[in-house]
Structure 1
Amino acid sequence: MKITRLLFTLTLFLLLSAPAFADSLLSGGNLAHNPFSLSAKRISTWKKEGTRVFIAEKNAGVSQGPFYIVADNVVCWFHEEESMQYEDAIIEVYCEGDVTVFHGENYEKFEQVYLKFVTLTGIEVNPDILPIVFFEEEQPMPFFLRGEDIRSRGEEEFLSMETPDTIKTKDQREREELIDIIADQIDSWEEGDRRIVVALGNVKIKKEDMTIDADSIILWFDKSALPDVTQQSMALPLSELYAEGNVTMRRENDFLIADRIFEQMTEDRGIIVDGKIKTTIQSGQEEDVSGQDAAFRSKKDKFEGLKDLPAHVTAEEIHHVGKGRYEIENGQITTCGYGHPHYHFKGKKIRLIKSEEHNIVSSKYNSFYLDRYPVAYFPYLSLDIQKKEKLLKDWEFGSSSRFGTFIRTNWDLYVATGGKQKEWSDLIFKLDYLQERGIGTGFDFGYRGQDLFGSVETYYLNDQGEYDINRIPVDEEDRGSILWRHRQELPYDVRMDMEYSYLSDPRFLREYLPHEFKTEKDRETVFYLRRTEDNRAATFLVNQQFNGFDTTVDSLREKNYAERLPEVKYQIISEPLLDNRMLFSSESSITYFNNTVEQSADFRKYHPTLTGFDSGTVNEATETRPVARIDSVARVSFPFKPWIFNINPFVEGRATGYSESIDTSDGVAEEHGDVTGRFIPTFGLDWSSTHWRTYSVYNDFFRINRLRHIFIPELRYIYSPFVTRDPGELYQYDEIDALDSSQILVMGVKNKLQTKRGKPGHEKTVDFIDFNLDYYMFPTNSGIYTEGINGIIVRKDNFINLDFRCQLNDIVAIVSERNEFNTEEFQFDVLSYGAEVVNPPDWQFFAGHRFIRDISSMIMLAANYQINEKWSIMGKEKYDLKTSLADDDDGEGRREERKNLKTSFVLSRYFHDWVGSITLELDPIRNDNSYRFDISPKGLQQTTSRFWF
C-alpha cells in the first residue's frame, strides 16, 4: 500500500509539473550526454576571451535531447577553452523573437529566453545552405547586445513574454543586413572601389523586407563591405541595382510590376519602365459610436466596405524621386485589378507619396474613363488611398416619369483638395441633374471632436416642374432644405443637443428626399439640455417650428406645431422609501406654448366653431396663442411578491395649471378663458407571474432538441374616476391636455417555446414560437388617448392585440404581428401575416397580407435570388385588393377599387471590387415609373434583406 501511494504521489507530481517544463530545463542531468546542436539559415561566429560566440539568424533552432527551441535569432556563448580543461562544457543561449520551447508534446511561447546548457559532447553547428561566416572582431548586433545585457545580470535563466526593448551602448552601430542572391548563374568582378555582381536566370533577391524577382539583375556593392565572392550572401551597403525581364518587387503592402527597374539605393532614386505600382487600402481606426442616437450618428464609417481594396498606378515611365516619392507622366489610377480595368483616371502628371500613415496620390488634368470611354474631367485630384478615400463617393443615373432622365452624384471635396480636415470632418458635395425639374446641389458637412459631433445637410433646387405628387401645383420655384444637428458632452454630466431645420414647403421631403421622409424623425428646431444622475434627470427644452407646418404632411393642409418656448422638466424614477417597501416616481414640468389653437383633430372635435370649421372661415383664434402650463404627476407604488406572483399596486395624482382656458360659459367655445387648473387622481394595479417547464421532445424536420415553455400571465388595471376640469375647456397641445376620466383593464399572456439548435457542443437557444396576447377593455367607454401624427387620437372599442412568430427551422419563419381584433364587432381591425423563407446567400422569399378594416387589403410578394457568383435578382410587389377612396370632393360617399401600390425589380452584377445594379420601379402612388443604374463598393451590400410591411 505504501508503494502504491508513493507511485501515485510521483505520478501526480509529474503531471502537475508538466506545464512548467521550461522552469526545470537545467535540472535534467542526463541532458549533458546528448549532443547540443545549433542550426539556422545564416550563422556567423567570432572568438573573444576564450569564449566562442555563434550568431544564428532566421529560422534558428537549438536542440539537446528532448528539448528543442526555435526562434528568429539565437546567440550561443560556448566556453571553448574551459571545455578543454574540464569534462563538461557550458553553453549559454539567448533566443529572441517568436520563441517556442518544445519538450516532447508540450510547448510554450516567449519573446525572450536565456538558458544555460551543459554538454559532454561539444556543440554541433549546422547552417542550412550557406557556410559559416567568420569575423575577427565582435559584431555588435542589436539582439546580441540585448543578450549580453541579460547575461551580465548573472541569472541562471530568463523567460519573458514581452517584446525586447532596444539596448543602447557606446559601441553600438547599425549593422547592414545581408542580401540573399539566388540565381541559375552568378558572376562577380571588381571595378575600382566597387564590386559588380551579375545574376542571370530565375533571379531572386532578398533584402530586409524587400523581395525582387527578375530574369536578370545587376548589383553594385561597395568593395570594402563585400565578403568572399564565392558566397551567395552579399553584405550591404548596396549602392545600385538594375533588373530587367518580368520584374516584380514586393515591399510591405506594395507590389510593383515592371519591364525594367534601375534604382540608386543610397539616394532612394530611380526609374521604372512599363511599370505598375499596386498599394493596398489600409483599414483606419474604428470609431466607437455606441449609444449615439440615429439622428446624430456619424457618417464616417459609411464606406468601411472599401477596406483592403487595391489601388493601381500605371505608366510607361515612373520616376522614383525620393524615399516613398514617385512622379508619373501620362499615367492612370484605378482600383480595378484587371489588365484592362473597367474604370480608371488618366492624368498628365501624377505624384505618389508614401509614408507610414498615408499613401497620397495627386494628379493634374484628369479624365475619368469607363472602359475606353471618357465620361468626366477633373483638373486636380488628391487621394489618400491608405485612408480608403474616394472622390466619387456615390452615384446613380436613370430615368423617371416624374423627373425625366436623372443622374445623382456625391463628391468628397476633401479628397479632391487633399485637405487635412479629414481627421475631424467630412465634406460631401451633392450634384444632381433632373431633366424635368432642374439641377439640385447641396453640401453634407460632418464633424467630430473629443466630446462632440454633428452634421450640416443642405440642398437647393430651382424647380422647373408644374406639379408635385397627387397633382398638387408647385407654388415656389426655389425649393430646398437645411438641417443642422449637433451633440456635445458638457461638464457636470450635461449633454446638449441642438437641431435647426428649414424646409421651403411641406411637400419637399416627400418629393425629393423620400427615404428621409419615411425613416427619419420629424424635422424641428430644438435646443435640449439633459443631466442625469442615478434615478434623477433634469431637462431643458426649447422647441420652435420655423417652418410653420408639419413636415410629415403630404398635402396643402398645414398642421401647426406645439412649440415649447421653453419647457423645464424634472424626473424621479423609482426612488425607494420605507426600506424599499414603497417606490416614488414623479415628473414635473413648466411649459410655455406659443402656437395657433388649430392643433389637432381632438381640438377640432371639442371646438369646431373656434377654428372655423362649421362656418367655413378661420377666425382670429387661429393666430398665435401663448399659454403657460404647469404640470406635475407623482406616483407611489407598493410592490410585493407573495409566492410566485409580482404585484404592484399604485396611486397617482396629476395636477395641471393653465394661464388661459376656453370660455364655454355661454354655450359657445371662445378664446380668452380664465386662468384654470385641474386634478386627475388615478389608481391602478400591475400583476404578473412567470412559469416555465421543459419537455423531452425531439423532431428532425423542425430541428427541435427538447422544448422549454415560458408562460407569463399579466394584468393591468388603471382607473381615473374623475377630472376636475373637462378637456373641452382646455387648449389641446399634447396627450396631457386630452386626459379624461377613464377605466382601462388589460389582460395579457406571453408564451415562448425555446429549443436548442446548432452543431453538437455548440448548440444555442433559439425561440421556436413567440405568441403574445393582450386584451384591452374600457368599462366606461372612455378609451385610450395617445398622440398621433395629426393630433390626439382615441381608441374606445375593446380589442385584442396579437403577435405571433414561429421559426419552423433554420430556413422557414411564419410571422403575424401588430394584429388588432375588435371584440365588440367581432372582427379584425388590423390583420397581418406572412411567411419568410431564407437560405442565404442563394435565395430568400416572402409572401404576406395586411388587412386594415375599411381602408385596405394589401398583399406583398418579395424574392431575392443569387443566380451565380456574379449575378443576383430581387423583385417586390405590393398590391391593394381593397383601396377605400372618396367618391366626391366632400368625401361623403366612398368606393373601393383594386390598385397596384408598387412594383420593383433589381438586377445586380458583382464585379471584383464593386456591385452594379439596375433598378426598375413602378410607383402609381407617386405617379412615377423609373429605372436607374447605380454602383457601390461590394462591402456595402447586404447578404440578406428583411421583407416585411
Structure 2
Amino acid sequence: GRSGDNAQPAPVPVPEPTPTVPAVTVPGQTPLPVARQVPVISPTPDNAPGPRRRLQYRIGSRTGAENWNVERTQLEDGRAMITVSNGVILNVSGVQGLGALEVEADRAVIWTRGDDASRSGSGSGDLEFYMAGHVVLRTQRPQTGDRVIIDADELYYDTRRNVAVALKSRLEVKPKLRAGTQITLTEPIVLTAEKLFQTSETTYEVVNSEVFSSRLPSDPGLKLIVAHATMEERRTPRTDLFGRPVVNPRTGEQLTQVESLLSAENVFATAGGVPLFYTPYLYTDARDPLGPLVSVHLGGSRIFGFQTGIGLDVYKLLGVLPYDGTRWRAYVDYMTRRGPGLGTNFFYNGSLFEAAPEELQLFPEKVQLGQYNGVVRLYGIYDQATDILGSQPVDLLTFNPSGFRGRAYWQQSVWDLPGGFDVHAQFSKWSDRNFLEQYYKREFDTTPNQATYALLKQQQDNWSWSVLAEGRVNPWVTTTESLPRLDGYVQGLDLFGLFTSHSHATIGYHRLAVSNDPRTPIQSNAVPPGTLPIQDQTTQQISTARAAFLQELSYPVNFGAVTLSPYVKGALVGYSEDLHGDSAGQAWGGVGLKAHLPLTKLYSDVQSELFNINGLNHKINLEANYFWAQAVNKHTQFGQIDRLNDFTTDQALREFTPYQPIYNPSNGLSMATSRLFDPQMFAIRRLIDNRFDTLDDVNVLQLEARQRLQTKRGFPGSQHIVDWMTLDTSVSLYPQANRDNFGKSFAFAEYNYQWNIGDRTSFQSTGWFDPNDGGPRVLTLGMYFDRPDRTSFYLGYRQIDPLNSRAITGSMSYVFSPKYSMRFIVSYDLGQSASLGNSVLFTRTGKDFQVSLGFTYNTYQNNVGAILEIVPNLAANRTNGPGGLLNQQSMGGFGR
C-alpha cells in the first residue's frame, strides 16, 4: 500500500558527485501549476536572447502550512542537502528534454550544487532528489504536448541525466490529439509496476507491469500483463508507401511523426480477467495499446455451423512500423460445418508527388497530385460442406468442395495525375462460382463487377480518351474480353456558335466469353423441349473486331421561356464477325426534338405551423423528347459486346429464369419467353443509345414533369430553403405501338413523390406501371423518422408484379442510453407468404469494449444465425460500426 503521513522515511544514500552539465530547455513548454505560496518561474525558450538559462527550482509546502520543517546540510563535496519531512512540493524548470516538472510528496531529500542552495535557487543542472509518501510527479513533453504523471511510494530522480527509479509506481501518459494523425486514443496510457525505471527523458522500463487505457482506470476491462517492458517516445521521419520522405509542400521540410513504442516480453491480453491471447514478444505503439488484436467474433448459423474468429493487426504481429496511409489486417476463422479459414486485407492510399510551386500559386488548394488508393483481399478456407444459397433448384445448390476454396482480389486507382490522366486496375479470382455469393453475400450483391481489367484514361476540358484491357479469369462468368478497346469522347463542342456536338468513337477486339454453366432449357411443357430463355439470344460465344462512331448534333434555340433543341443522331458500327459468323455492319440514325419549359409561382402568404410552412414556391420543369430512328439491321444479328446486366444480375437470370414456370405458374412462362423482359428491348424502348450492339428502330415521345414545392425553415435570420414536396412524373408514348411497344400506346408510366414533413421526418412513394399484360409494375411506400441521437424508424411497403411480391419492411434503431442501443429489421412478403429476413442486434458500449449480440432468420435459406462480436472501443472508433450478420449476411459476422 501507499506510505501514510506517519510512515518512517527509508534510508537515503548520499549520491556520488556528478559533473556539471548545462541544462537544455525545449521550446513550447506549457507552465505547470504553481506551488502553494511560492511562485514558479516559467521556462525560457531556447531562442530567447541572452545566455542559455540555468536550472532553477522552488521548494514549497505541500499542505500550505507555514511551520513546515526544512533542514539544510552542507556536504563535503560542495553540494548542499535539503531535507523536508512534513509535505513538500518541488518545482524545477530548465530540465534537459523536459523543460519543467513538478513533484510533491510527504518527505523529500534534495541534493543541489548552486549559488543559492535554499528554498529557491539556481544551479548548473546538478539537482537530485529522493521523495517518499504519496509521490506525484507531473511534467509535459515540449515536443509533443503529452502530459506525464508518475504516482509512486518512493521516487529517486536525477535531473541532469533525466533518470529515475520509482517503487510501486503508476505511469500515466495523456497523448495530445493532433490534427492529421491517426491517434484514436481518448484516455491516458497507464502502466502500473512494482519497479519503474526512467532511463532518459523519453524512455521508461517496467518490471511485472500492467498496461491499459480505459474510461475507468480504477477497474480496466482490457489490459496487457507483461513481465518486462520498455516504452520509448520516438520521433521518426514520415515516409510514404514507397519509402520516400513526406515533406511539407509549403516549407519543403520533411514531416515527422511521434510514437510511443512499447516493447514487451511475455505478454498476456486479458478482458475482465479472462485471458484472450499470449505472445512471447510484442512491439506496438502505446498510443494504440490494443496490440495486434482488432476484434473477436463468435456466432453460429445453419450455413456455417458454430463460428469463431479474430481480427489481427499484421504490422503489430510482425513488429514493424506501418507505412503512412496503410492498414493491414489478418483474420483467423473456424466454422464447425465448413472448416478453418485464413485471410488478410491490405488497404493503402496516398499521393505520388506534390504539386509544383507555380501550380500552387494558381491553385493553392491543390497541394497534392497523383492521388491513389487500393485494396488487396485474400481469403482461403478448407471447406467440407454443401453451399446453401437460397431457394434455387437443387442441382444448382449441389457443390462438392475440393477441399480448398478462396479468393484473391486487388483493386487500384490512381487519379489527378499530370495531364489529366487516371489509371484503374482490378484483379478478381475466386475458386468456384458459389464462393463469393456464399461467403461475401453483401459484396456479391452490391459492389461493381468483380472483373479483371486495366484502364488508362485522360480527360482535358470537354474531351477524353481511354484504353481498356479486360480478360476473364472466372469461367462461370459471362463477360466481354477486350484485347484491347480504345474509346474517345468530345462532349459539348460548340460549332460556329450555333450547333452543339457530342461524339463518341471506339475500336477494339472483343471476345464474348459465355459462362461455362450448363445452359438450362425452360422447364415447361408449353414450349418445345430445349427452348432457351429469350435473354440468351444475343449472348453467344463470338470473337470479333468492332469499330463504331456515334455522333449527335443539336441546334438549341429559345422562344421566350421555351427552349427547343432539334437534333440528329447517328451511329456506324462495323463487325468482323456477327452471330452468323459473317462480317457485317450496322447503320443507325434518326432525328429528334427536345423541349424544356420552366415555370414558377410564389405563394408568400401561405403559412402553417402544423405543416411547418413559411411561404411556398412552386417550381415546375416540363420536358419533352421526341425521337425517331431507323436501323439497317436488327440488333439480334450481333452479339451483345456492351453488356447491359452486371455479373450478379446476369447470374441470377441465368440460374432462375428457366425455372420461372415452376415457381410462378401465372406469369413465369411469359417472363422466360417474352421479349417484354429482354434487357435489350428495355434499352431500346427507353432510348439507351450508348450500347452500340443495342440499336434498333424506335419511334417514341418521352414526357416528363418535375415539380418542387419549396419553403423556408430555420430560426429567424438563418432560414434556409428546403423542398417541402417533390413530385416527378414521366411517361413514354409510342406512335408505332405494334412494332415498338407490344401493341400498347404508352409505357414506363412512373412517378417519384417525397414529402419532407419535417427536417427529420419524411414520406416517400415511387411507382412504375407498364400496361402490357403481365408487364412490370412496381409500387413502394415508405415513412422515415430519425433523430440526432441515432434513433431512427422506417416502415415501408413494396409491391412487384408479375412476381406477385407484396413485402412489408420495418426497421428500427433505438438508443436506450449512452451504453445500450438496438437495431431491428423485419421483412415479410404477403404475396409469397414468406419471411424475407429478420435481424436484431443489441449493442453495449462499455468502458473498454463494444459488445454486439445479434440474431437473424431467413426463410428462403431456412437459416437461423447468431453472432457475438467483441470489439475494443479503439477499434470500433476506426470502423463504421460492427460487422456481423446484419452487415455481411453470409460471412456470419466477419464482415470484411
TM-score band, normalised by the shorter chain? Answer: 0.7 to 0.9
Distance 1:389 1:370, change over 3 A: closer
Partner of 1:342: 221
Partner of 1:279: 173
Deviates more, 1:393-402 or 1:206-215: 206-215
Unaligned runs of 5+ in 2: 1-26, 31-35, 94-98, 141-145, 236-257, 353-371, 523-527, 643-690, 888-896
Partner of 2:856: 921
Alpha-carbon offset, residue 913 of structure 1: 4.5
Q: Secondary structure at the match of 2:785?
A: strand
Distance 1:358 1:497 in 2: 34
Alpha-carbon offset, residue 902 of structure 1: 0.8
Q: Deviations over 1:483-525 (max 9, x none)?
A: 1112235554322111111011121111111222233111011
Distance 1:826 1:449 in 2: 52
Partner of 2:487: 569
Residue 469 of structure 1 aligns to which amino acid in structure 2? L
Distance 2:130 2:39 in 1: 27
Partner of 1:773: 729
Q: Deviations over 1:238-294 (max 9, x none)?
A: 62233333333333323333333222221122222222223345556649xxxxxxx
Distance 2:411 2:744 in 1: 35
Residue 729 of structure 2 aligns to which amino acid in structure 1? L
Alpha-carbon offset, residue 582 of structure 1: 1.2
Partner of 2:47: 166
Partner of 1:719: 628
Alpha-carbon offset, residue 172 of structure 1: 2.7
Match of 1:853 among 801, 822, 828: 801
Distance 1:130 1:279, change over 3 A: closer
Judge conservation of contact 2:792–2:812 (CA < 8 Å) in 1. yes
Residue 594 in 1 paired to residue 511 in 2?
A: yes
Deviates more, 1:336-345 or 1:456-465: 336-345
Residue 487 of structure 1 aligns to which amino acid in structure 2? S
Q: Deviations over 1:561-612 (max 9, x none)?
A: 1111111001000011112x2111100001211134679999999xxxxx99
Judge conservation of contact 2:334–2:341 (CA < 8 Å) in 1. yes
Residue 337 of structure 2 aligns to which amino acid in structure 1? E
Q: Secondary structure at the match of 1:501?
A: strand
Q: Secondary structure at the match of 2:479?
A: coil
Match of 2:552 among 625, 630, 635: 635
Q: Secondary structure at the match of 1:702?
A: coil
Partner of 1:93: none
Partner of 2:294: 393
Considering only CA atoms, is the larger Rg found in Structure 1 or Structure 2? 1
Partner of 1:889: none
Residue 939 in 1 paired to residue 887 in 2?
A: no
Distance 1:569 1:814, change over 3 A: same
Q: TM-score, normalised to structure 2's length?
A: 0.74
Partner of 1:189: 72
Residue 167 of structure 2 aligns to which amino acid in structure 1? V
Unaligned runs of 5+ in 1: 1-72, 74-95, 99-127, 134-138, 144-164, 288-300, 551-559, 606-610, 663-670, 786-792, 884-897
Residue 654 of structure 1 aligns to which amino acid in structure 2? A
Q: Give the length in aligned residue pairs.
A: 727
Alpha-carbon offset, residue 441 of structure 1: 0.7
Distance 1:97 1:358 in 2: 19
Alpha-carbon offset, residue 724 of structure 1: 0.8
Distance 1:369 1:944 in 2: 21
Residue 730 in 1 paired to residue 730 in 2?
A: no
Residue 569 of structure 1 aligns to which amino acid in structure 2? D
Alpha-carbon offset, residue 726 of structure 1: 1.5
Judge conservation of contact 2:101–2:139 (CA < 8 Å) in 1. yes
Partner of 1:841: 789
Judge conservation of contact 1:863–1:874 (CA < 8 Å) in 2. yes
Distance 1:643 1:591 in 2: 46
Match of 1:646 among 547, 563, 579: 563
Distance 1:784 1:339 in 2: 76
Distance 1:599 1:628 in 2: 23
Distance 1:859 1:543, change over 3 A: same
Partner of 2:149: 255
Greater relative contact order (CA < 8 Å, ≥ 6 in sequence): 2
Alpha-carbon offset, residue 878 of structure 1: 0.7
Alpha-carbon offset, residue 691 of structure 1: 2.6
Match of 1:743 among 686, 695, 699: 699
Partner of 2:449: 522
Distance 2:286 2:594 in 1: 59
Alpha-carbon offset, residue 537 of structure 1: 0.3
Distance 1:401 1:241, change over 3 A: farther
Q: Deviations over 1:731-771 (max 9, x none)?
A: 22234212210122221111112222223333222222121
Residue 863 of structure 1 aligns to which amino acid in structure 2? M
Residue 418 in 1 paired to residue 319 in 2?
A: yes
Partner of 2:762: 813
Distance 1:766 1:600 in 2: 52
Judge conservation of contact 1:425–1:446 (CA < 8 Å) in 2. yes
Q: Secondary structure at the match of 1:736?
A: coil
Residue 172 of structure 1 aligns to which amino acid in structure 2? P
Distance 2:814 2:203 in 1: 47
Deviates more, 1:469-478 or 1:763-772: 469-478
Distance 1:224 1:433, change over 3 A: same
Match of 2:190 among 309, 312, 316: 312
Distance 2:40 2:311 in 1: 62
Distance 1:603 1:689 in 2: 51
Judge conservation of contact 1:603–1:731 (CA < 8 Å) in 2. no
Distance 2:293 2:610 in 1: 50
Distance 1:796 1:860, change over 3 A: farther
Match of 1:374 among 265, 271, 275: 275
What aligned pairs does 1:203-222 form with structure 2 within 5 A after superposition?
A: 203-208=88-93, 210-212=100-102, 214-222=104-112
Judge conservation of contact 1:437–1:463 (CA < 8 Å) in 2. yes
Distance 1:309 1:130, change over 3 A: closer
Alpha-carbon offset, residue 405 of structure 1: 1.4
Match of 2:201 among 308, 320, 323: 323
CA RMSD of aligned residues (A): 3.8
Judge conservation of contact 1:179–1:235 (CA < 8 Å) in 2. no
Partner of 1:226: 116
Distance 1:903 1:449, change over 3 A: closer
Distance 1:646 1:187, change over 3 A: farther
Distance 1:131 1:799 in 2: 83
Q: Secondary structure at the match of 1:395?
A: strand
Residue 353 in 1 paired to residue 270 in 2?
A: no
Partner of 2:164: 270
Distance 1:602 1:637 in 2: 45
Distance 2:737 2:315 in 1: 62
Distance 1:590 1:492 in 2: 23
Distance 1:820 1:784, change over 3 A: farther
Distance 1:426 1:615, change over 3 A: closer
Residue 589 of structure 1 aligns to which amino acid in structure 2? T
Residue 680 of structure 1 aligns to which amino acid in structure 2? W
Q: Secondary structure at the match of 1:270?
A: strand
Distance 1:496 1:280 in 2: 43
Judge conservation of contact 2:213–2:289 (CA < 8 Å) in 1. no
Partner of 1:687: 595
Alpha-carbon offset, residue 388 of structure 1: 7.5
Distance 2:89 2:187 in 1: 28
Judge conservation of contact 2:521–2:532 (CA < 8 Å) in 1. no
Judge conservation of contact 1:281–1:310 (CA < 8 Å) in 2. yes
Distance 2:598 2:196 in 1: 74
Alpha-carbon offset, residue 453 of structure 1: 3.4
Distance 1:261 1:934 in 2: 43
Alpha-carbon offset, residue 211 of structure 1: 4.9
Partner of 1:867: 816
Residue 735 of structure 2 aligns to which amino acid in structure 1? P
Q: Secondary structure at the match of 2:351?
A: coil
Alpha-carbon offset, residue 341 of structure 1: 1.5
